[in-house]
Amino acid sequence: MVAWYLWINALLYVVFAALCSLRPEVTSGSIGFLSLNRGGQSEFLAVYGGLELGLALVFAWMAWRPELQRTGLAIALLIYAPTVLFRCVGVMRLWPVPRMTLATGALEMALLLIGLALWFATKPTAH
């Protein structure tokens, strides 16, 4: 189950990296970036393209190597817990927010909760 969770994360990040790299004007607008100058466009490409592709590679590597799967799960929890916390704070402080913001937050929350369930349902392997 942990491997599947990590592969799903890898796939999601590959898709997001591709969308943000190939269609930055659409994806940036859908999450609320109304206008970006060239510096902002470069930053968007680096963070939403490059970093997300990097995360996809990390999750794929962890999924592929059984001895690293629990570490991959820990990495996912360490990413999603603060992301969900900051998303909740942002939504509460800045309400109303666009539907895409809520959908993204719901996906992050689901990935966090599934990750937590897997963490407590699986036993660490002895090395």
pLDDT at site 127: 59
Estimate to the nearest angstrom the gap between the alpha carbon of 73 and the chain centroid.
13
pLDDT at site 123: 84
Whether residue 116 contacts residue 74, with contact meaning beta carbons closer than 8 Å, is answered with: no
Q: Quote the tokens at residue 48.
A: 């939403």
Q: Can you tell me the distance from the alpha carbon of 110 to that of 122, in angstroms, rounded to the nearest whole number?
A: 18
| Per-residue pLDDT tens digits for 103-122 | 999 999 999 999 999 999 99
| Per-residue pLDDT tens digits for 19-41 | 999 988 888 888 887 777 889 88
Domain ranges of the chain: 2-121
pLDDT at site 126: 64
